[in-house]
Structure 1
Amino acid sequence: MSKMHVTTTVNGDTVEFLADPRETLLDSLRDQLGLTGTKEGCGTGDCGACSVRLDGTLVCSCLVLGVEADGKRIDTIEGMSEDGALHPLQRKFIEHAALQCGFCTPGILIAAKALLEENSNPTEEEVRYWLAGNLCRCTGYDKIIRAVMDAAAELRQEAA
């Protein structure tokens, strides 16, 4: 089967790659573009480790074909920091020890950022609901929720 040419924007940069029509966006990001921050956990869209944003929509990249990214914007964990500085969510995850092995962390951070861009003042229940599609087997979720809530407060304060 012949590969297809894909032109997309990843973390603000226009990129081009060749993708097998059956290749997932996850595999394209990791294998074609070298963006290995996005992880494959389950391959069935159940764990959220491969979460990215595709044209602003949170998606499991293991369920999207790489060729579907043609002409679209992709945001991955590699693009989360700004000018070399950690995003407030990343800093709060470190401060709250909201990670252990780190495998699920990129997907959770992408999902949390999507939430805070949509709702800058979420309740704890809203954070838990929003992150329900991201599984973590190491930390439990309390530290993760606290980190997201704390980052939300900091981002609101910066915006004021």
Structure 2
Amino acid sequence: MSDANRNRLFLPIIYLGGLVFGFGLAVSGMAKPEIVLDFLQFKDFGLLFVMGGAAAVTGITFAVATRYLDRAPLTAREYTRRLKEFDRNVLFGGAIFGIGWGISGICPGAAYASFGIGNYSILWAIAGMFLGAYVQGYVRSFGTDDATNTSDPSTN
């Protein structure tokens, strides 16, 4: 997308959204790995309510926006469905993500919020996420057709 089509408030609103997201994670306690690990061990179900509340607000927002607006307000893109096949990459990637989440007790968004509340040791997990993404991109770049295949039909 060209910058000419993008609303000039795009970046400040994205930044504001990130601030709200991080603040919400910190207030709810979801930026603390020990709380997330308690959820994964079925000891504390607070995360379920946080995620459920977020999913409900997001679902309502998208339902209303796609019904009353023909384009996204900040990007001017048409609302379309993103089609992604349920293939082995989705299955294996989800499993690997889940293993990493279980080991570290933190997912990517919460990791940054955790750093923001002073948990500086979380930098090891963040570094691991970047290294894992880099290794995956490096391995995938070796001649497989999947390296150039994206889920966006407009780029194929």
Normalising by structure 2, we get a TM-score of 0.30
More strand per residue: 1
More helix per residue: 2
> Which one scores higher on RCO, CA 8 angstroms, separation ≥ 6?
2
